[in-house]
Amino acid sequence: MRVVVWNVANQSRAFGALEILGPDIALLNEASPPSTASGIWRSATEGRDAGRRPWSVAILSTHPIKEITDARPSWRQVQRRVPFACSRPGSWIAASLEIAPAKQVTAVALYGLLDEFSDASVHRSLSELSPVLDDPRYRHRVLLGGDLNTWTGWPAHEAFLTCDLNVLQRFEALGLVDCLARMRPAGRLEGCTCTFGDACTHTRTRRDPRRPDIPYQTDYLWASSALAARLVSCQALAYDDWFSISDHAPIVAEFDLS
């Protein structure tokens, strides 16, 4: 199973490039898919700042796909009666996909919408999304990916560093595995500005035209332990050809579900 995570920067030509990658599942940000695409998305994204963005998260797939609207958390085997809904439509979306008979995957496309500070934005979405990680109908094979607008290469004195580290720790607390970090070679990313030394786990996923020499990572693919155990490869295509389409590189991962 091939999975692609990509912030396509609302570029229509990105969808032709996406076909080249041939994903079984694509988790997209800042996307306005063509009407012929097979998947789910919104016509726009609505922030808490009353702003309306002309793009959305999207989940595209070659497999049967159904939006999840009924995930529920439980406490001591009692299901909580809370709605499973996105308070900022277009900032996240969840779907169930039938990859093969009796093989269901839960896919979540998440965007760190900057209608507020990025850590608050992602925390808000994770609170809303957490039922899919608890509901037994959906929690076993989960993929969650997107541009979090979260960066842990800040200087040590910068308050954003603690906040953004806390965001990533929350994914881990929910039982999710960072696929890029798991598959990258050990050692420091060349040119990385983080304070972690040889413990650096960054992979470049973004080229900021204002600071092209800094290898930013703001994009991630997370997987539940059952899927992470079947991860074969995961890399970011941080090359000029892809950065000519978007300022974000596609993340491409392969899982062996045979």
A 10 A CB-CB count for 198 gives 7
Q: Please compute the mean of the pLDDT values over residues 129-144 and round it to a whole number.
A: 95
- pLDDT tens string 167-225: 999 999 999 999 999 999 999 999 999 999 999 999 999 999 999 999 999 999 999 99
- Cα–Cα distance, 244 to 195 (Å, whole number): 29
Query: Residue 74 above 90 pLDDT?
Result: no
Domain that includes residue 8, residue range = 2-255
CA distances from 1 to 14, 25, 36, 227 (A): 21, 8, 22, 11
pLDDT of residue 61: 97
pLDDT over 90 (residue 100)? no
List, in sequence order, the alpha helices (H) in the chain.
14-21, 118-129, 159-173, 179-183, 225-228, 240-243
Q: Is 16 helix (H, G, I), strand (E, B) or coil?
A: helix
| Average predicted confidence (pLDDT) for the chain | 95
Strands 211-216 and 251-255 turn out to be: unpaired
* pLDDT given for residue 77 in this prediction: 73
pLDDT score for 75: 76
The answer to whether residues 195 and 157 touch, using CB atoms and an 8 Å cutoff, is no
Q: What does the pLDDT average to over 15-25?
A: 96
pLDDT for 17 equals 96
How crowded is the C-beta side of 85, counted as CA atoms within 13 Å?
Answer: 4
7 pairs with which residues across the strands? 29
Model pLDDT, residue 208: 95
**Domain CATH code at residue 30:** 3.60.10.10
Above 90 in pLDDT, residue 73? no
The count of structural domains within the chain is 1
pTM, rounded to two decimals: 0.96
What pLDDT does 158 receive?
83
DSSP assignment of 130-175? GGGGT-TTTSSSEEEEEE------S-TT-HHHHHHHHHHHHHHHTT
